[in-house]
Amino acid sequence: DKLKDFFKVGSSINTYRINTLKVDIDTLCSKLKSDGIEFENEDVIIQTKESLINTSYFKEGLIIAQDVSSIKVGQVVNPKKGAKVLDACSAPGGKSLHMAAIMENTGSITSCDVYEHKLNKIVDNANKLGVKIITPLLADATSYIYKEEYDYVLADVPCSGLGVIRRKPEIKTKADAELDFAELVQRQKEILEAASSYVKQGGTLVYSTCTVNPDENEKQVE
């Protein structure tokens, strides 16, 4: 409710995750207050009316731009310190970077994507945020043969994106004209089935999308 009061209808909302590898939550909030920046805070989530991209907070890696829904995924996985994690579809890397912070830079995270330039971006952000446990891997999540099993496997699959239309209205046009939902659902199924075979006995598999289409969510999980 307080966020509804803080952000009036039609206002711009900027969402960031506090990088707890470089600064604790209370310290960051105190800095924002002393700089006169209006914000709301919930755990590692900071929301502001003004952009912080050109501030020292962002440039020094104290915060990173990340949607609330994306941050929640890392909190659902909630990997323990020292764990071995596979992020099967990691680009642009926000969830891998968040999990590294949750793990306090211990253990290991294998972050995969099919495009090398996207993996390079993950490495760049890891260096900026002080993340030391991410290993990028060029891999197709539908078919890649991993050499080990993992305590946690995250399958954040390609999807129709219908859950983020408010932020990306162009998705509606794309959905009407280009998207092959049957092909998407099949690819998600292949990724989920492949990824699940690399979860250690007693480990955790998390499946996530940024869509509201039941065929890509509840029915896929069933």
Which residue among 89, 112, 159, 210 is the active-site one?
Answer: 210
Distance CA 171, CA 168 (A): 6
How far is the C-alpha of 193 from the C-alpha of 81, rounded, in Å?
26
Helix, strand and coil in the chain, % to nearest 5: 40, 20, 40
The pairing of beta strand 14-18 with beta strand 45-48: antiparallel
Separation between Cα atoms, residue 93 and residue 113, nearest integer Å: 9
> Quick one: which of 133, 22, 138, 144 has its CA closest to 85?
133
Neighbours of 213 (CB within 10 A): 20
Query: Is the Cβ–Cβ distance between 45 and 17 less than 8 Å?
Result: yes
- To the query of whether residue 210 is one of the catalytic residues in this protein, the response is yes
Catalytic residues: 210
